[in-house]
Chains A and B, each alone.
Chain A
Amino acid sequence: MFSSLRKQIKQAAVIIRFAWVRQLNFRFSIAAYRVGEILEILVLIAMWTSIYASSGGGMAIKGFTLPEMITYVLIGNLCMMLTRNYLPSLVSRDITEGKLSMALVRPISYMKYVFLNEFGRVAITTIMAVVSQIIIISFFLDKIVINGDPAYLLVVIVMLLLAFITELIMGFIIGTLAFWTDEIEGPLTAIDRIKRFFAGGYFPLSLLPIGVATFASYLPFAYSFFVPAQLYLKKMTIQEGLMGLVVQVGWITILSLVLKIVWSRGLKKYEASGS
C-alpha cells in the first residue's frame, strides 16, 4: 500500500513539475498578465478614492469607509488569484482540437492529469500574482485595514482552499461545454462576467439590495472573493464564516456529481463522433 502511495505521489510530482517547466516558457505572457491585473486594481482604487472624495471624504458608503474599500479590492483580488484556474479554456481546447483522443488512451485518467497539471500551472502564476499583489499592498499599508486575528485568518484559509477546489470543478464543467458546441468563446466570456459579478469582483455585494446579496451567498462564486474579503474586514462573524464553509462543502458535493454526469454524457457523445 505504501509503495502504491509513493508511486502516486511521484507521479503527481512529475506532472506538476512538467506543468512548471511548460509554464516557465511563457515568461513574457505571465509578466504581461501581471501588468494588466495590477493596472486594473490601481484603476479600481483610483475610482473608489475619487468617489469617496466627491462624496465629501471620510464618509462611509453602505458601511464601507475608504480604507475598507481599498482593503476589499486588494484582499479580494488576492483571494481570486489564489483560487482561480484556466480549466475552461484548457478542457474545451482539448475537446475541440481532438487532443482528448490521445489523452484518453494514456494509462492515466484525463481528469486526474488535468487537475494535477492545473494545480502545477496555477501554482506558478499564483506565486507571481501573490508576489506582485503583496508589493502593491505594501504601498497601501497605511491606507488599509490590517487584521491579524488568527481565528478569522484560519477560516479564510480553509475557505480559500475549498474555493480552489470548487473553482477547479466548475472550471472543468464549463470546459465540457465544448462537447456540445464548437463556439465556446462566447459562453466562456459570458460565464466569466456573471461569475465575477456574483463573486463581488466588480464591487462589494453588500452594496446591492439585501435580497440579491443573500442570494449570492448561497451561490459558490462569492467564496473566492466577497466572503473571504468580508471576513478579513470583520464585516462578517466567525459563525457566518463557518456557515459559508458548510455552503461550500455542499456545492463541492453537488458540483462533483454534476461533473460526473456531464463528463460521462459528453464523453459518450465524443466517443460516438470522435475528432
Chain B
Amino acid sequence: MNVIHVKNLTKRFEFYRKKEGLWNTIKALFYRQKLYAEAVSDISFDIKEGEIVGFLGPNGAGKTTTLKMLSGILYSTSGEISVLGFTPQERKTEFKKQFGIVMGQKSQLNRSTTPMDNFLLFKEFGEVPDEQFNLIFNELVDLLGVRGFLDVQVKKLSLGQHMKCELIAALLHNPKVLFLDEPTIGLDVIAQKNIRDFIKKYNKLRKTTIMLTSHYMDDIKELCNRVIVINQGKVMYDGSFAKLVATYATDKVIKVSMNEVVKKAILDTYGKVEDYQEYSALIRVPRADVKNVAVRLMSSDLPLEDVLIEEMPIDDVIRVMFEDTKKSPQE
C-alpha cells in the first residue's frame, strides 16, 4: 500500500534581484525585478508502508522543500501530493496526528524548560491518552537512553541529547509517517550511530514509514534500501542503494596510516592520492582494481600501520552520477 504518493510536484519561489550599491538600493525601493526559481520541478514517486527511503542531493537540491510540502508547511505550485490519503496543505488535525517531523536545523522544543515539560505539552497537542503515552514514552526513553537528563533544561543538553529529545517529541503520538530532515547533522560519530541505530530499531518495531534526508553515507547505507536522488529540483535516481553504489560508486577509497613519513610520489603509484598527510593518506582506486592495489600495498615494504577500504563519500557518488547524466541525458 502506498503511504506517500507524489506526482508531477513542482514548487516555484518568487525572488528579487538587486544590484549592489546605495543608488541601486534606493532604486530597488521603487522597482525590483521579480524572478522565479523552481526549487522542485516535476518530481514523482511513491513510498510504501514501512519503507525507509533516503532522500539525497547536494545543498539546494530541493530536499527540504519537498519534505515541507509533504508535511503541509509549504504550498505546492502544482502537482499532486497525498500522504496517508490526506492532502497535506489542508493541514487537517487528523492528518497532523498521524505524522511526525524532525528538522535537524529547527528545534521544536522549548529551550528554557526541561525535556519532560516539553513532552507533557506535546502529549496534550496530540491528545495522547495517558496509557498510550506511558507505554510509548517509556519505550522511546529506553531505546534512546535519555532517562538521565529528562529533568535538565533543554538548553543545557548536548547536541546529541537534544536530537534524541526531538525524536521523542516527534514520536510521542505514535505517527504512521516520519519525516527526518538531516537528523544527524552536526553530531559526532558516536551520536550519529546512536540515532541511526534507534531509527532502525524503531522502524522495525513500529513499521513506521520513514523518509529521511542526510549528507552522511553511513546514515543512508545502514538505514535505506531505497534512495531517491534529486538535483536542481529533479529526480535523478530512484532505486536501490546497492545499485546506486554499484553503478556510480566507481571508485573505492583506501585509507592508509603509516608510522614513518612516506613521500606522496610513492603513494601516487598506487592510485589517485587525496588528502595527503605525513602519516596518512586517502588513495582513490577504481572499484575493480581495489583488491590488487590492496595486495600490492600490503606486500610492499612501506611502513604501513593500518589499511582500511571504504566506500567513496556520498557527495562524490552523486557528483559522478550528475557528470554521467550530463554526458548522456537520460530523457
Chain A residues within CB distance 8 Å of chain B: 7, 10-11, 14-15, 18, 21-22, 25-26, 98-99, 101-102, 104-108, 113, 268, 271-274
B96 to chain A, nearest CB (A): 4
Whether B124 contacts A272 by the Cβ 8 Å rule is: no
Q: Which DSSP category, helix, strand, loop or mixed, fits chain A's interface?
A: helix
Q: Which DSSP category, helix, strand, loop or mixed, fits chain B's interface?
A: mixed
Given A105-B96, A271-B89, A273-B13, A15-B121 contact (CB < 8 Å): yes
Tally of B interface residues using CB under 8 Å: 33
Q: B108 interface residue, CB < 8 Å from A?
A: yes
Residue of A nearest to B109 (CB): A102
Contacts of A10 in B (CB 8 A): 124
With beta carbons under 8 angstroms apart, the residue of B14, B117, B121, B173 that contacts A272 is B14
A7, A99, A272: residue with the most chain B Cβ atoms closer than 10 Å: A272
Q: Which of B111-169 contact A (CB under 8 A)?
A: 112-113, 117, 120-121, 123-127, 153
A10, A102, A104: residue with the most chain B Cβ atoms closer than 10 Å: A102
* Listed stretches B45-53, B67-75, B197-205, B251-259; interface member: B67-75
Residue of A nearest to B101 (CB): A105
A-B contact count (CB 8 A): 74
Given A18-B121, A98-B106, A107-B113 contact (CB < 8 Å): no
B132 to chain A, nearest CB (A): 14
Q: B210 interface residue, CB < 8 Å from A?
A: no
A64 to chain B, nearest CB (A): 44
Instruction: Pull 27 A–B residue pairs with CB atoms less than 8 Å apart, ordered by A.
Output: A11-B124, A11-B127, A14-B120, A14-B123, A15-B121, A18-B121, A22-B117, A25-B153, A26-B112, A98-B106, A99-B106, A101-B68, A102-B101, A102-B103, A102-B107, A102-B108, A104-B91, A106-B96, A106-B125, A107-B126, A107-B127, A113-B125, A271-B73, A271-B75, A271-B89, A272-B75, A273-B13
Contacts of A102 in B (CB 8 A): 101, 103, 106-108
Given A107-B173, A273-B14, A22-B113 contact (CB < 8 Å): yes
A18 to chain B, nearest CB (A): 5
Given A11-B127, A102-B103, A18-B73 contact (CB < 8 Å): no
Give A102 to B100 CA distance when docked, in angstroms: 10
Given A11-B124, A104-B72, A21-B113 contact (CB < 8 Å): yes
Residue of B nearest to A98 (CB): B106
A271 to chain B, nearest CB (A): 4
Give A25 to B108 CA distance when docked, in angstroms: 18
Contacts of B65 in A (CB 8 A): 274
Whether A274 contacts B106 by the Cβ 8 Å rule is: no
Q: B78 interface residue, CB < 8 Å from A?
A: no
Q: B97 interface residue, CB < 8 Å from A?
A: yes
Q: B330 interface residue, CB < 8 Å from A?
A: no
Give A250 to B173 CA distance when docked, in angstroms: 41
Whether B93 contacts A107 by the Cβ 8 Å rule is: yes
